[in-house]
Structure 1
């Protein structure tokens, strides 16, 4: 792993640059099946967000917001001298991807089941489920290697996150669980996961469907894709309709037979959406 602007990252392939962002308590490793498909003709950079994987937590005082994550990834983009970047993110990473596009740091954005289009009850549910999931990783830590090696064990470990946990290779199943357990900055994600798109405190679905006009206008100028997992247990697919209302210029689509972490459920479809990100807004009309 290399480090720039305090962000640990993996870089593979050659061609136009694609930047991949994971969600709460994850790491760059969640993107492995996508990287394998993109690296033949793309410069693929997958990062560990601050407080996850090999990246140190944000030490500045005060709550950590989605805007702060976006600012730090923006500084990372600048330090590497990246231009004409396409960014894709899942969950909180999708939220950050949208903010980067709105700030002019990305030429296109793809957000897989992004946070920010929820109401207060849905946000609380997701934060609770994530905390419970992390607590479970501590209880299961001694037996994770053995569980990850079996279909039954992967279903048990990953049934909330994937639609088809049995299809996740054992080493990757082990990585998903370990990354969540060892996330040094896990507590810092609480504020970011209490915001709607644009940084306002989460409240109602109606409010989430009406982001700041400046943010909406900025995203209307950039090819944006919002793809919601059909079997998402962390972020209800009902939030996809809120996203449609919030960002009517985007390309909106569904990920059939996919769970919240869809990278292993249908890597070919996710890869296709990333590769066609340039055409997103054109196709939506």
Structure 2
């Protein structure tokens, strides 16, 4: 397993790229992408508020996309990062869009981002699914960890987030379980989400490109039920479909995810260089 250690990973050189994990995860989910991304970027991969290795909120603190973004901005400031390419998966995609609105983005690449749903029924479905998944992670941890040694158990146990969980390594599967167990904001954040607060419309046209990459085997947030309403809220974006991958596409195809992110960042960086010369 990759030790959680510090609350973030930073490495590489080039224009800054900040990558955000999904709900109940940590920066470790990105580890297989670091070599490709760090060839071209100064990569900062933090753990989010209330997640494994991240800032621990005080009892009674509001936990919302706003307060998660506030904490993320403090992390950026501490790292000396003003603007950066932003990329994220699920909650991390929602966060990347929010930070873009706050003037932090050179570009945004959001992979199956959370924040949109087609009415109360779809909202209740995803909240119930997350609560059940979190409960399963805490149930009989010793037995769960031993079962994950079996490829068939990883495929079944990771079905909500990976198309081929059997190909996810045992160590990576344990990282996912450990991160879920360490997340302390599950109930507080979901209680806030239940108030039915979808991603608000963008007030003005962004001066940075937004790429939405949607996993075509996403069982957690199927595109028609969660992606379409989100796109209606955020305005013009470039939509790309990610073939053969589940909701956390880094688990199924790290190279595809790295390529998707770099396609956007390269386009922006090349334009910036051309303007300088």
TM-score normalised to the size of structure 2? 0.87
State the shift of 1:188 in Å. 2.6
Distance (Å, rounded) in 1 between the aligned partners of 2:144 and 2:35: 25
- Taking the TM superposition and a 5 Å limit, the aligned residue runs for 1:202-241 are 202=198, 211-214=200-203, 217-218=204-205, 220-238=206-224, 239-241=226-228
Query: Residue by residue, what CA displacement relative to the aligned partner does 1:140-188 show, whole Å, maximum 9, x if unpaired?
Result: 4112332222211211321121111012111001110111122123223
Pair 232,82 (structure 1): closer, same or farther in 2 beyond 3 Å = same
Pair 232,192 (structure 1): closer, same or farther in 2 beyond 3 Å = farther
Distance (Å, rounded) in 2 between the aligned partners of 1:135 and 1:60: 21
Whether the 8 Å CA contact 2:5–2:53 is kept in 1: the answer is no
Whether the 8 Å CA contact 1:231–1:237 is kept in 2: the answer is no
State the shift of 1:261 in Å. 0.9
Matched position secondary structure for 1:212: coil
State the shift of 1:2 in Å. 7.5
Distance (Å, rounded) in 2 between the aligned partners of 1:192 and 1:41: 37
Whether the 8 Å CA contact 1:24–1:92 is kept in 2: the answer is yes
Distance (Å, rounded) in 2 between the aligned partners of 1:141 and 1:169: 18
Distance (Å, rounded) in 1 between the aligned partners of 2:232 and 2:240: 13
Whether the 8 Å CA contact 1:122–1:235 is kept in 2: the answer is no
Distance (Å, rounded) in 1 between the aligned partners of 2:242 and 2:140: 30
Whether the 8 Å CA contact 2:83–2:103 is kept in 1: the answer is no
State the shift of 1:33 in Å. 1.6
Whether the 8 Å CA contact 1:20–1:87 is kept in 2: the answer is yes
Is 1:53 aligned with 2:52? yes
Residue matched to 2:239: 252
Residue matched to 1:90: 89
Is 1:38 aligned with 2:37? yes
Q: Which moved more, 1:86-95 or 1:117-126?
A: 117-126
Residue matched to 2:154: 154
Query: Residue by residue, what CA displacement relative to the aligned partner does 1:208-264 show, whole Å, maximum 9, x if unpaired?
Result: 6xx3352xx25x322111111111121121122223333342111111111111112
Q: Which moved more, 1:131-140 or 1:92-101?
A: 131-140
Whether the 8 Å CA contact 1:11–1:46 is kept in 2: the answer is yes
- Taking the TM superposition and a 5 Å limit, the aligned residue runs for 1:116-131 are 116-118=115-117, 119-131=119-131
Unaligned runs of 5+ in 2: 269-277
Distance (Å, rounded) in 2 between the aligned partners of 1:10 and 1:212: 32
Distance (Å, rounded) in 1 between the aligned partners of 2:246 and 2:84: 27
TM-score normalised to the size of structure 1? 0.84
Matched position secondary structure for 2:105: coil
Residue matched to 2:249: 262
Distance (Å, rounded) in 2 between the aligned partners of 1:276 and 1:212: 25
Matched position secondary structure for 1:253: strand
Pair 127,86 (structure 1): closer, same or farther in 2 beyond 3 Å = same
Whether the 8 Å CA contact 2:201–2:235 is kept in 1: the answer is no
Distance (Å, rounded) in 2 between the aligned partners of 1:2 and 1:79: 18
Say what the alpha-carbon RMSD is for the aligned residues: 2.1
Whether the 8 Å CA contact 1:117–1:242 is kept in 2: the answer is yes
Residue matched to 1:141: 141
Distance (Å, rounded) in 1 between the aligned partners of 2:93 and 2:141: 28
Q: In the comparison of the two structures, how many residue pairs are matched?
A: 262
